[in-house]
Amino acid sequence: MMFPLEVYAVDCAAGKVKRLQPEAGGNILIFIENQNWHLLGNSKDPGVKEMFALALAAQAQDKPVIIRFLGAFDCSAYETSTPAYMLRLDA
């Protein structure tokens, strides 16, 4: 039986974007309140620039976001190797 990838996804709790860190190699890190540093993705990968723009807008408006990762993921851990699959504005 086949399942879509979303079946094995983790949605971290909604939280406000506290810090964003674009790096020289293209990686973009995000720190969401009550979580830790996570990898949003690499700016060269599809959809990452859009997620970064949404994260900037959410931070500017002081609105919470929900971030999704595929597979097992600990939202409270410092984890900067697994890129985000989705970022949602939780307004």
Select from 61, 45, 60, 50 the least CA-distant residue to 87.
Answer: 50
pTM: 0.89
Half-sphere exposure of residue 47: CA atoms within 13 angstroms, side-chain side: 8
How confident is the model over 21-78, as pLDDT tens digits? 999 999 999 999 999 999 999 999 999 999 999 999 999 999 999 999 999 999 999 9
Reduced to 3 states (helix: H, G, I; strand: E, B; else coil), residue 49 is: helix
Which has more confidence, 61 or 6? 61
Are the beta carbons of 79 and 38 closer than 8 angstroms?
yes
**18: how many CB neighbours lie within 10 A of its CB?**
12
How many Å is the maximal CA-CA distance in the chain?
44
d(Cα 73, Cα 47) in Å, to the nearest integer? 20
